[in-house]
């Protein structure tokens, strides 16, 4: 059974549709043509990005990190059909709602640990998400028994270097702290959990992370 | 009985499961000559109709875009089900074998133009509901053939893992 696609979002790279595909609720991510580019270059680039996204998402699954199941990759239209996790909430919305209540931040620590552990596992296999914001993490289920899913690997890559990993962590850091005020303890818990994975390049990544932090806007990179 | 599912591009997927089949070799011959225009699968490698739908959608897409790897739409369906790029391996693992006693006959056809009900007379066996498929599915063989990891099964179902391999075969090596 297929229902017509309903546009539910649009980013810089792609349009996101929801539909019913082969009897299942499905998300279709369709990258559009960038007419300012030379057509053959655009096609190559868009195809390469689509492939990289699918590869990254799928590799995560093989290592036990949950990502949406890919149902179909339409190379001709640069579209990825994947499972639609209906009724899951973004970690972003979860934290916002949480902070609107009056529970202590400590209650967010299990979530932080899970996030850190998952990103640590991803990085230990060389997988880089590329856009680790709280909007790109979904949550399901009740408070104790929740599951975490990573979405939008549009900027993802495989075989990441310590520098790539540090940048990935830095994006997460900035995204968390700017979207959710006063969540430094949450960030700390995420990073602790991340480094508990004890990957071979942990020291390298820590060093690079410090370096990357020094690079930001309005910062002088002096010693 | 023939069960029908919808595919994109105004096509349908018709499926019929048979047990106590005594003429598998003959059926295979008929598929080769074209007397039977459908895919003959071994039910042991099929977990769920969704697995068939995912493979059929891909095969149909390739057919419509003139990008078939194999010669026909139905051989393409068999090939799409398989996790490897070897056509002969696909037929060996997923296709009906000469002494199989069960067969899953699958047809991709334009909407409302299925002929599986006519094919039933050619099969020397008993047509049973698709819900009985689980009696013939060999999950160990499926796990081994599709190279599914334990880590994957901890955070998703076996069907999720199988579907992933079918849909991303050309892009990812497992």
The answer to whether residue A4 scores a pLDDT higher than 90 is no
Which of B5, B167, B171 minimises the CB distance to A55?
Answer: B171
C-alpha–C-alpha distance, residues A11 and B34, integer Å: 48
pLDDT band (50, 70, 90) for residue A51: very high
C-alpha–C-alpha distance, residues A171 and A114, integer Å: 18
C-alpha–C-alpha distance, residues B169 and A51, integer Å: 11
Q: Which of A74, A93, A102, A131 is catalytic?
A: A131
What's the pTM? 0.92
Q: Tell if the CB–CB gap between A22 and B57 is shorter than 8 Å.
A: yes
C-alpha–C-alpha distance, residues A164 and A79, integer Å: 26
For β-strands B39-41 and B11-19, DSSP reports them as unpaired
Q: Which helix (H) or strand (E) holds A207?
A: helix A202-215
Across the range A15-24, mean pLDDT stands at 95
Does residue A63 sit at the B interface (CB-CB below 8 Å)?
yes
Does residue B156 sit at the A interface (CB-CB below 8 Å)?
yes
Does residue A121 sit at the B interface (CB-CB below 8 Å)?
no
The answer to whether residue A44 scores a pLDDT higher than 90 is no
B151: closest CA of chain A, how far (Å): 5
Considering chain A, what percentage of its residues have pLDDT values greater than 90?
68
For β-strands A70-74 and B126-128, DSSP reports them as unpaired
Q: Tell if the CB–CB gap between B155 and A61 is shorter than 8 Å.
A: yes
* Per-residue 3-state assignment (H helix, E strand, C coil) for A156-194: CECCCCHHHHHHHHHHHHHHHHHHCCCCHHHHHHHHHHH
**What ipTM was predicted for this assembly?**
0.95
Q: What is the DSSP string of chain B?
A: -EEEEEETTTEEEEEEEEES-S-HHHHHHHHHHTSS-SEEE-GGG---HHHHHHHHHHHHHHHHTT--SSSSHHHHHHHHHSSSS-HHHHHHHHBPPTT-S-EEEEEEEETT---HHHHGGG-SSEEE-GGGGGGT--HHHHHHHTT--HHHHHHS-HHHHHHHHHHHTTT---
Which of A2, A62, A70 minimises the CB distance to B8?
Answer: A2
Residue B5: phi and psi, rounded to 5, are -125, 155
Residue B126: phi and psi, rounded to 5, are -105, 125
pLDDT tens string for chain B (174 positions)?
899 999 999 999 999 999 999 999 999 999 989 889 999 999 999 999 999 999 999 999 999 999 999 999 999 999 999 999 999 999 999 999 999 999 999 999 999 888 888 888 999 999 999 999 999 999 999 999 999 999 999 999 999 999 999 999 999 887
Residues of chain B neighbouring A64 (CB-CB closer than 8 A)? 149, 151-152, 154-155
Q: Tell if the CB–CB gap between A62 and B151 is shorter than 8 Å.
A: yes
Q: Is A42 a catalytic residue?
A: no
Does residue A54 sit at the B interface (CB-CB below 8 Å)?
yes
Q: Put residue B146 in one of left, alpha, beta given phi > 0 → left and psi -120 to 50 → alpha.
A: alpha
pLDDT band (50, 70, 90) for residue A219: low
Furthest-apart CA atoms within chain B: distance in Å: 45
Q: So what's the pLDDT on residue A222?
A: 60
Which of B50, B54, B171 minimises the CB distance to A51?
Answer: B171
Q: So what's the pLDDT on residue B65?
A: 96
Select the more confidently predicted residue: A204 or A142. Answer: A204
C-alpha–C-alpha distance, residues A49 and A157, integer Å: 9
C-alpha–C-alpha distance, residues A189 and B57, integer Å: 44
Does residue B11 sit at the A interface (CB-CB below 8 Å)?
no
Q: Tell if the CB–CB gap between A21 and B8 is shorter than 8 Å.
A: yes
A35: closest CA of chain B, how far (Å): 24
C-alpha–C-alpha distance, residues A35 and A21, integer Å: 29
Select the more confidently predicted residue: A20 or B117. Answer: A20
A163-185 tens-digit pLDDT: 999 999 999 999 999 999 999 99
Cα nearest neighbour of A3 on chain B: B8
Q: How many CB pairs under 8 A join A and B?
A: 74
C-alpha–C-alpha distance, residues A23 and B5, integer Å: 9
Task: Report which of A170, A151, A6, A7 is spatially closest to residue A90, judged by C-alpha positions.
Answer: A151
Which one of A5, A23, A62, A114 makes the best mutation probe of the B interface by having the most chain B beta carbons within 10 Å?
A: A62
Does residue B6 sit at the A interface (CB-CB below 8 Å)?
yes
Does residue B157 sit at the A interface (CB-CB below 8 Å)?
no
- Name the 3-class secondary structure at A73: strand
Which of A23, A63, A73 minimises the CB distance to B151?
Answer: A63
Does residue B64 sit at the A interface (CB-CB below 8 Å)?
no
pLDDT band (50, 70, 90) for residue A1: very low
């Amino acid at each position: 059974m297929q229902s017509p696609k309903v546009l539910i979002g649009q980013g810089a790279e792609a349009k996101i549709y929801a539909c019913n595909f082969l009897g299942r609720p499905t998300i279709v991510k369709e990258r559009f043509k960038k007419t300012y580019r030379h057509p053959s270059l655009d096609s190559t680039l868009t195809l390469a990005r689509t492939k990289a996204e699918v590869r990254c998402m799928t590799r995560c699954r093989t290592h036990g990190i949950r990502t949406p199941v890919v149902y179909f990759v339409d190379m001709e239209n640069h579209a990825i059909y994947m499972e639609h996790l209906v009724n899951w909430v973004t970690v972003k919305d979860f934290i916002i709602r949480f902070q609107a209540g009056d529970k202590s931040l400590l209650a967010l620590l299990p979530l932080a640990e899970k996030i850190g552990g998952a990103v640590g596992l991803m990085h230990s296999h060389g997988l880089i998400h590329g856009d680790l914001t709280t909007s790109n993490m979904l949550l399901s289920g009740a408070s104790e028994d929740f599951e975490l899913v990573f979405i939008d690997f549009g900027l993802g890559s495989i075989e990441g270097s310590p520098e790539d990993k540090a940048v990935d962590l830095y994006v997460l850091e900035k995204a968390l702290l700017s979207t959710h005020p006063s969540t430094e303890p949450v960030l700390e818990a995420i990073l602790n959990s991340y480094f508990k994975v004890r990957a071979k390049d942990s020291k390298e990544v820590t060093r690079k992370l410090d370096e990357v932090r020094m690079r930001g806007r309005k910062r002088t990179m002096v010693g | 009985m023939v069960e029908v599912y919808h595919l994109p591009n105004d096509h349908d997927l018709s499926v019929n499961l048979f047990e106590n089949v005594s003429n598998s070799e003959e059926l295979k011959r008929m598929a080769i000559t074209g007397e039977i225009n459908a895919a003959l699968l071994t039910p042991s490698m099929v977990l769920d109709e969704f697995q068939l739908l995912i493979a059929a959608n891909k095969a149909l897409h390739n057919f419509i875009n003139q990008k078939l790897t194999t010669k026909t739409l139905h051989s393409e369906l068999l090939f799409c089900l398989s996790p490897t790029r070897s056509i002969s391996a696909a037929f060996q693992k997923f296709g009906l074998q000469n002494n199989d006693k069960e067969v899953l006959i699958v047809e991709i056809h334009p909407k409302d133009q299925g002929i599986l009900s006519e094919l039933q007379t050619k099969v020397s066996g008993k047509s049973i509901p698709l819900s009985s498929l689980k009696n013939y599915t060999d999950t160990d063989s499926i796990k081994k053939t599709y190279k599914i990891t334990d880590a994957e099964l901890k955070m998703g179902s076996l069907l999720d893992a199988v579907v992933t391999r079918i849909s991303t075969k050309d892009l990812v090596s497992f």
